Amino acid sequence: MLLALETATDVCSVAFCDNDGDLFEKRIEKRGAHSEQLFLFIAELMEEHDFRITELSALLVSEGPGSYTGLRIGASAVKGLLFQTEVPLYGVNTLASFAVGSVDDASPAGTIHAIIDARRVHVYHQQFHVSGTALAAGSEVEVLPIDRFESMVASGDLITGTGLNRISEDIKAKTVTRGPGAITARSLVKLYRHGYEAFFHPASPPAFEPKYYTSNQVNGG
């Protein structure tokens, strides 16, 4: 059994995968909802599916980049949930989870750009290459000015994530786009179950810290 938490954007999503491989999710897209909804969603899933945290095979958490507040709430949650347990924790690349959730919508030999609005004139960005249903990183996570990101986009590419409203209409017209509605903790489970080990790693709950980006890194993009 797996439990996954996605709090890196305005989406608050918790997904539970049972022993049969069936996925169940609680989700809301609302700014500032994480502090109110995250533990409520976890408790509801535990009650509806009759499991305890100590029975999990692993807990997955979206580790960034993304909202400082959302990521901090997710990190605090896993530390509390796993306190004095032996349940393994895995930090998952947020942008890779966006990409793997959109593989079925991409060209079989295409490119996916996963982005998160970084405010000002920047986006968090990582490029991925699709081969059939397999996914591989084409770049590192970066903070890029929007115009530089747009210069990297080719016709037929897929763009997934937040901040799509800040992208030019010309770019959107020549690409496939998937907005915040496609962001879900289900994608963390998919990444983990498909063995994309380049995009997740084991972490110690007491020492776990999300991958924050400072204002200096944004300014330097």
Q: Which amino acid is at 188?
A: L
DSSP assignments along 203-216, one per residue: E-GGG-------HH
The pLDDT score that the predictor gives to residue 132 is 82
Provide the pLDDT for residue 194: 93
Instruction: Name the token pair of 13.
Output: 């999503």
Do both 60 and 101 map to the same domain? Answer: no
| Non-local CB neighbours of 161 within 8 Å, separated by 6+ positions | 9, 95, 98, 114, 115, 116, 117, 123, 178, 179, 180, 183
Together in a domain, 36 and 120: no
Together in a domain, 90 and 13: yes
Query: 94-101 and 186-193 helices cross at what angle (nearest 10)?
Result: 90
Residue predicted with more confidence, 54 or 219: 54
Kindly list the distances between the CA atom of residue 63 and the CA atoms of 95, 115, 159, 172, 219, in Å, as whole numbers in the listed order.
Answer: 10, 14, 20, 28, 21
Domain of 80: which CATH number?
3.30.420.40
Residues 11 and 85 in one domain: yes
* Secondary structure in 3-state letters for 8-34: CCCEEEEEEECCCCCEEEEEEECCCCH
- What is the Cα–Cα distance from 6 to 62, expressed in whole angstroms? 5
pLDDT digits (tens, 9 = 90+) for 84-119: 999 999 999 999 999 999 998 888 889 999 999 998
214 and 175 in a single domain? The answer is no
Residue 169 φ then ψ, to 5°: -65, -30
Name the residue type at position 154.
A
| Shared-domain flag, residues 163 and 212 | no
Range of the domain at 111: 95-182
Summarised one tens digit per residue, pLDDT across range 50-81 is 999 999 999 999 999 999 999 999 999 999 99
Does residue 159 share a domain with residue 59?
A: no
At residue 212, the pLDDT reads 82
218 vs 123: CA distance, rounded Å: 9
Total domains in the chain come to 2
Q: Are residues 85 and 143 in the same domain?
A: no
What average pLDDT does range 32-58 have in this prediction?
A: 97
Whether 85 and 191 map to the same domain: the answer is yes
Statement to judge: residues 25 and 53 lie in one domain: yes
